[in-house]
Structure 1
Amino acid sequence: MSTHEGHLKGTSIGLSEATAADFFALLKPRVMALAVFTAFVGLMVAPGGMNPVMAVIAIGAIAAGAGAAGALNMWYDADIDALMSRTSKRPVPSGRVTPGEALGFGLVLSALSVMTLGVLVGWLAASLLAFTIFFYVVIYTMWLKRSTPQNIVIGGAAGALPPVIGWAAATGGIGIESLILFLVIFLWTPPHFWALALFKVGDYAVAGIPMMPNVAGQASTKKQILVYALLLVPVGVLPWLLGFASGFYGIASAALGGGFLWHSWKVLTAPGPEMRPAKALFAYSIFYLFALFAMLLADAIVMRAAAAN
Structure 2
Amino acid sequence: MSPRKSPTQGSVRIGISGWRYAPWRGVFYPGDLPQRRELEYASRCFSSIEINGTFYSLQRPESFRQWHDETPDDFVFAIKGSRYLTHLRRLRDVDTPLASFFASGLLALGSKLGPILWQLPPSFRFDPERLRAFFELLPKDTGQALRLARRRDVALMKGRSVLSIDRERPLRHALEVRHTSFCVPECAQLLREYNIALVVADTAGRWPFVGEVTADFLYLRLHGDEELYASGYDDEALDNWARRIATWRRGGQPRDMPRIDKGAPERVPRDVYCYFDNDAKVRAPFDAQGLEKRVGG
Place the TM-score, normalised by the shorter chain, in its bin. Answer: under 0.3
More strand by share: 2
Give the greater-gyration-radius structure (CA): 1
